[in-house]
């Protein structure tokens, strides 16, 4: 592979190109009119404008991207995350054009892209799944029968769904009809696929996922877990590895289950197998994400591997150079997603110019970002500014480094989730490890940050007064002199 096009923008495009450069391969950036001056465009060896800012006219325009590849002699495409990364039709077109798609093949993407076909694929293996039905349900009577068998509450899920869309909790039989109809119509309008199924609702789960890596020779390993329970509205905010609740034995069992999920669809490249974990530490396979994920840096920090480098090596037909037994966890890593959102105002997007943008530096601090001081956060895309990742010898050290790094991260011009990060990393539930996917809903209110900012402002005022009084003392001799000087004049 001599030239790779990165079909993405922002921090992930830049992060992928850094590895491409490190491997001595040429990089091609594509960009929209809104991203003309972005770091990923400047960093690339070549860059082509795809069109107007809206994603449909730029980063989602697969045919235009393929035309660019032909023109520039590109032989590999890295899709990053989001945009075209999990589009099986695009992956197939790329392969048909004789270009290497740096990711799994279209067939694995198709199977895992539908939750029902994912369940079907995994069924033959001994992978625990949430009690429920693995077929599309349309009939209310059948739905009621299933719910009676597994017991309320149940959850109706869209097969094509993602991000909780089309998901409905049903507490009692009387609610079934209405919730089924809503779920089906929401699935229909959001995904063009009205297929829904029913599962037992796990009320306070943790979200723990396993990173897998598979080459084209049937070698599949896992790179341990990431704890991703701290999220709001299905948007992850904090991730860490390892998870405090996962014992070596549980890690081994979850890892083996994840490898089986990958093998069930002949998976290649990096992928993530998501599990729900209940309060008794039972884990259940949820779905598989067939892309490089946003939170992959925490896994890189604890394994020492470069996941993009691994993806490229696998794509060009190399065997994994290590086995499961060669892998181990080194220390602990935590990640905070820094969004241009206002945690004091319901996390509303806070678009605008980065008047000040100064990053913390230090041992064990990694920042993946795609902006520089003076740049404007465009309204057209995800409002994530950066990922702040810290690594320490243990969890306490990683968290301490994170709190210090947040303090030294100076962003002005837009509101960010940095103060929310401080809230999480200082919170007792987080520190003790006793939290689940309801953390934000259960513990967070903007008042808690406001009160703290007020207290900090009061401390700052007191410190200022103290300094003022001290400087007054020091000034006194000067005053005295000036008085005598005046007296002398007189
Ligand atoms: C669940 C669940 C409880 N029980 N399934 C949400 C998005 C989708 N990927 C899966 N999700 C869930 N599935 C059963 N049977 C709770 C959630 C869920 C959730 C999962 C992971 C991370 C955050 C979440 C927030 C709310 C609900």
| pLDDT 10s digits, 127-169 | 999 999 989 999 999 999 999 999 999 999 999 877 778 799 9
Distance 164 CA to ligand 1 centre (A): 7
pLDDT in tens, 400-431: 999 999 999 999 999 999 999 999 999 999 99
Tell me how far the alpha carbon of residue 247 lies from the centroid of ligand 1, in angstroms. Answer: 22
* 406, 335 Cβ separation under 8 angstroms: no
Tokens of 45: 């060896």
Place of tokens 């103290």: 466
283/378 same-domain check: yes
Q: Is 204 in the pocket of ligand 1 (CB under 6 A)?
A: no
Interval between CA 160 and ligand 1 midpoint (Å): 14
237 lines ligand 1 (CB under 6 A): no
The two beta strands, 384-392 and 365-369, are: antiparallel
pLDDT above 60: residue 256: yes
Q: Looking at the structure, tell me whether residues 174 and 319 fall in a common domain.
A: no
Tell me if 174 is assigned to some domain. yes
> Exposed, middle or buried by CB within 10 Å (0-12, 13-18, 19+), for 148?
exposed
Same domain, 210 and 187: no
Tens-digit pLDDT profile for residues 195-239: 999 999 999 999 999 999 999 999 999 999 999 999 999 999 999
Same domain, 303 and 429: yes
What is the Cα–Cα distance from 343 to 186, expressed in whole angstroms? Answer: 28
Ligand 1 midpoint to CA 249 (Å)? 24
Same domain, 194 and 219: no
335 and 250 in a single domain? The answer is yes
Indicate the pTM of the whole model: 0.93
| Neighbour-count burial for 380-407, b at 16+ CB within 10 Å, e otherwise | bbbbbbbbbbbbbeebeebbebbeebbe
Q: Measuring CA to CA, which residue among 76, 71, 24 is closest to residue 45?
A: 24
Percent of the chain with pLDDT over 90: 88
Burial 348-370 (b: 16+ CB within 10 A, else e): eebbeebeebebbeeebbbbbbb
- For residue 164, the ligand 1 atom closest to its alpha carbon is 7
Does ligand 1 come within 6 angstroms of the Cβ of 179? no
Instruction: Establish whether 291 is a catalytic residue.
Output: yes
Question: 254 and 139, same structural domain?
Answer: no
Q: Choose, from 251, 291, 337, 395, the residue flagged as catalytic.
A: 291
Query: How many domains in the chain?
Result: 3
pLDDT top residue among 470 and 77: 77
Binding site membership of 207 for ligand 1 (Cβ less than 6 Å): yes
Final residue belonging to a domain, choices 141, 171, 200: 200
Q: Is the CB of 205 under 6 A from ligand 1?
A: yes
Residue 486 has pLDDT above 50, yes or no: no
Per-residue pLDDT at 490: 40
Q: What is the CATH number of the domain that holds 148?
A: 3.30.1490.20
Task: Assess whether 347 and 430 both reside in one domain.
Answer: yes
**Can you tell me the distance from the alpha carbon of 267 to that of 112, in angstroms, rounded to the nearest whole number?**
10
Residue 374, domain CATH = 3.30.470.20
User: In this structure, is residue 66 part of a structural domain?
Assistant: yes
Does any domain span residue 283?
A: yes
Domain that holds residue 221: 206-447
* Domain containing residue 85: CATH number: 3.40.50.20
* Co-location of 222 and 186 in the same domain: no
234 pocket-lining for ligand 1 (C-beta < 6 Å): yes
Domain boundary among 176, 200, 224: 200
pLDDT value of residue 476: 62
3-state secondary structure of 202: coil
Which stretches of 54-194 are assigned E, i.e. beta strand?
A: 76-78, 100-101, 154-158, 168-170
**Would 110 be classed as within a structural domain?**
no
* Confidence check: pLDDT of 463 > 60: yes
| Residue 461 within a domain | no
Q: Kindly compute the dihedral angle of the four CA atoms of residues 387, 392, 394, 395, in this order, to the nearest 10 degrees.
A: -30
For residue 62, is it within any domain? yes
CA-132 nearest atom, ligand 1 = 15
Whether 399 is covered by a domain: the verdict is yes
Please name the residues in contact with 399: beta carbons below 8 A apart, sequence gap of 6 or more: 334, 390, 392, 425, 431
Token pair listed for 398? 């990683």
Q: Distance between CA atoms of 356 and 300, rounded to whole angstroms?
A: 29
Q: Decide: 333 and 302 in contact? Cβ < 8 Å.
A: yes
Rounded Cα gap, residues 102 and 78, in angstroms: 5
All residues at 6 or more sequence positions from 418 whose CB lies less than 8 Å from its CB, including other chains: 336, 338, 406, 409, 411
Residues 155 and 95 in one domain: no
pLDDT tens digits along 87-105: 999 999 999 999 999 999 9
Whether residue 179 sits in one domain with residue 256:
no
Same domain, 226 and 342: yes
């Amino acid at each position: 592979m001599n030239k790779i096009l990165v079909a993405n923008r922002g921090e992930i495009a830049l992060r992928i190109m850094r590895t491409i450069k490190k491997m001595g391969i040429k990089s091609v950036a594509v960009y929209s009119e809104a991203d003309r001056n972005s770091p990923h465009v400047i960093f690339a060896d070549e860059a082509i404008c795809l069109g107007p800012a809206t994603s449909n006219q730029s980063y989602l325009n697969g045919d235009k991207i393929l035309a660019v590849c032909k023109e520039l002699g590109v032989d590999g495409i890295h899709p990053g995350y989001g945009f075209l990364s999990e589009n099986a039709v695009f992956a197939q077109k790329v392969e048909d054009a004789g270009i290497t798609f740096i990711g799994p093949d279209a067939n694995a993407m198709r199977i895992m892209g539908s939750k029902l076909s994912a369940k079907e694929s995994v069924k033959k293996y001994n992978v625990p799944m949430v009690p429920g039905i693995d077929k599309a349900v349309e009939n209310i009577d059948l739905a009621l029968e299933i719910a009676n068998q597994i017991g309320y509450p149940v959850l109706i899920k869209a097969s094509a769904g993602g991000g909780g869309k089309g998901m409905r909790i049903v507490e009692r039989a009387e609610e079934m009809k209405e919730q089924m109809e809503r779920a089906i119509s929401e699935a229909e309008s959001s995904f063009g696929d009205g297929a829904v199924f029913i599962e037992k609702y796990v009320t306070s789960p943790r979200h723990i996922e396993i990173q897998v890596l598979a080459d084209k020779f049937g070698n599949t390993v896992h790179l341990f877990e990431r704890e991703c329970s701290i999220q709001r509205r299905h948007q992850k905010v904090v991730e860490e590895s390892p998870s405090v609740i996962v014992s070596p034995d549980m890690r081994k069992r979850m890892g083996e289950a994840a490898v089986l999920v990958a093998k069930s669809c002949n998976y290649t490249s990096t992928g993530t197998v998501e599990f729900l974990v209940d309060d008794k530490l039972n884990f259940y396979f949820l779905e598989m994400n067939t892309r490089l994920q946003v939170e992959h840096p925490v896994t890189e920090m604890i394994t020492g591997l470069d996941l993009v480098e691994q993806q490229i090596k696998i794509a060009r037909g190399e065997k994994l150079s290590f086995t499961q037994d060669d892998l181990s966890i080194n220390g602990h890593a935590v990640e905070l997603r820094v969004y241009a959102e206002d945690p004091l105002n319901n996390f509303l997007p806070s678009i605008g110019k980065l008047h000040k943008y100064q990053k913390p530096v230090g041992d064990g601090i990694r920042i993946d970002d795609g902006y520089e001081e003076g740049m404007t956060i465009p309204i057209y895309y995800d409002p994530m500014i950066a990922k702040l990742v810290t690594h320490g010898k243990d969890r306490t050290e990683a968290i301490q480094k994170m709190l210090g790094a947040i303090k030294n991260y100076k962003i002005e011009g837009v509101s960010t989730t940095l103060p929310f990060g401080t809230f999480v990393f200082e919170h007792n539930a987080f520190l003790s490890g006793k939290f689940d996917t309801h953390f934000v809903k259960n513990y967070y209110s903007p008042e808690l940050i406001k009160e703290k900012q007020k207290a900090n402002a009061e401390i700052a005022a007191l410190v200022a007064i103290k300094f003022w009084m001290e400087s007054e003392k020091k000034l006194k001799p000067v005053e005295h002199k000036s008085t005598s000087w005046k007296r002398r004049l007189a």
